[in-house]
């Protein structure tokens, strides 16, 4: 076997053992959940360019806690082990020269589309709320959020729910939330007299001639 092919095989085996190998062909690669992209600031020595395992665990634990609280009475069944955290190579040094800025992604899988919508509509994973939560934490917490972005995913292989911006046969409209009084009412996503600019409506039947 060619040396390069052998190296690739060894690398793949390591990924499988670590539980980070790519999904197998035919397996659903876009489950319901959230994908967080953020630059985290970590105070570390100039010569230490690797995010420590302790800080990695702190970040995952923080987001597991915030997401679980966002689920509230809904059992989202989110465990620490389900979170997939990756760190890009070559971090940048901050302007003060006292910390490293690591570009990271955190994949937070949800049990189903309904759980994803509960989290989204709780607004618990917005940048402002997370920053406030971090300020409430122990001042010795090893990281802070420098930049932040989040994408909410729906699993297209599972049933849609009211509030996921996907219009299905049983819905008259879907405006991406379950708030009432905005023109599209939960729990059945039925139209109201009030106009909602952002909602998705089912086209009206053509008038009889």
Please, what is the average pLDDT of the chain?
78
Q: Where are the alpha helices (DSSP H) in 19-100?
A: 53-71
The verdict on residue 15 lying in a domain is no
Say how many C-beta atoms besides its own lie within 10 A of residue 74's C-beta: 17
Q: Domain boundary at 133, 153, 173, which?
A: 153
The pTM of the full predicted model, rounded to 2 decimals, is 0.67
The verdict on residue 4 lying in a domain is no
* In a shared domain, residues 84 and 135: yes
Q: How does pLDDT run across 22-46, given as a tens digit for each residue?
A: 434 444 457 899 999 999 999 888 8
Domain count across the chain? 2
> CA angle, 168 as apex, 163 and 171 as ends, to 5°?
65
> CA angle, 131 as apex, 105 and 49 as ends, to 5°?
45
Confidence of residue 87 (pLDDT cuts 50, 70, 90): very high
Hey, is 103 helix, strand or coil?
A: strand
Q: How many CA atoms lie within 13 A of 174 on its CB side?
A: 15
* In a shared domain, residues 76 and 173: no
Question: Facing residues of 87 across strands?
Answer: 104
Residue among 119, 113, 114, 133 nearest 70 (CA): 119
Q: Which DSSP string corresponds to 82-111?
A: G-EEEE-SSPEEPTTSS-EEEEEEEEEE-S
* In a shared domain, residues 142 and 174: no
Q: How does pLDDT run across 136-168, given as a tens digit for each residue?
A: 876 667 799 999 999 999 888 876 677 776 677
Structure tokens belonging to residue 142 = 């090893």
* In a shared domain, residues 55 and 40: yes
* In a shared domain, residues 164 and 87: no
* In a shared domain, residues 176 and 143: no
* In a shared domain, residues 187 and 117: no
Q: What percent of the chain has pLDDT over 70?
A: 67
The verdict on residue 209 lying in a domain is no
100-109/184-185 β-pairing: unpaired
Question: Using only C-alpha atoms, what is the Rg of the chain?
Answer: 21
* In a shared domain, residues 66 and 94: yes
Domain that residue 175 falls in: 160-202
84-87/200-201 β-pairing: unpaired
* In a shared domain, residues 182 and 122: no
* In a shared domain, residues 142 and 197: no
Residue 102's contacts (CB-CB under 8 Å, 6 or more residues apart) are 39, 40, 42, 51, 87, 88, 91
Terminal-to-terminal C-alpha distance of the chain: 74
What is the mean pLDDT of the segment spanning 174-185?
70
Question: What CATH number corresponds to the domain at position 43?
Answer: 3.30.70
Q: Domain boundary at 131, 153, 175, which?
A: 153
Q: How does pLDDT run across 3-26, given as a tens digit for each residue?
A: 444 444 444 444 333 334 443 444
């Amino acid at each position: 076997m060619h040396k390069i092919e052998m190296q690739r095989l060894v690398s793949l085996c390591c990924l499988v053992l670590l539980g980070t190998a790519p999904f197998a062909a035919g397996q659903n690669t876009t489950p319901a959940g959230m994908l967080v992209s953020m630059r985290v600031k970590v105070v570390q020595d100039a010569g230490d360019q690797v995010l420590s395992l302790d800080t990695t665990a702190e970040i995952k634990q923080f987001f597991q806690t915030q997401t679980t609280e966002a689920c509230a009475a809904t059992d989202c069944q989110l465990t620490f082990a389900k979170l997939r955290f990756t760190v890009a190579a070559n971090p940048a040094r901050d302007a003060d020269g006292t910390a490293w800025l690591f570009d990271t992604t955190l994949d937070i899988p949800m049990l189903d589309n309904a759980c994803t919508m509960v989290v989204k509509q709780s607004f618990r994973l917005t940048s402002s709320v997370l920053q406030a939560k971090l300020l409430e934490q122990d001042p010795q917490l090893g990281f802070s959020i420098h930049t932040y972005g989040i994408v909410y995913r729906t699993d297209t292989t599972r049933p849609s729910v009211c509030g996921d911006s996907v219009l299905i046969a049983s819905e008259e409209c879907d405006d991406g939330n379950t708030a009432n009084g905005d023109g599209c009412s939960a729990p059945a996503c039925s139209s109201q007299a009030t106009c909602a600019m952002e909602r998705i409506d089912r086209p009206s039947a053509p008038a009889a001639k």
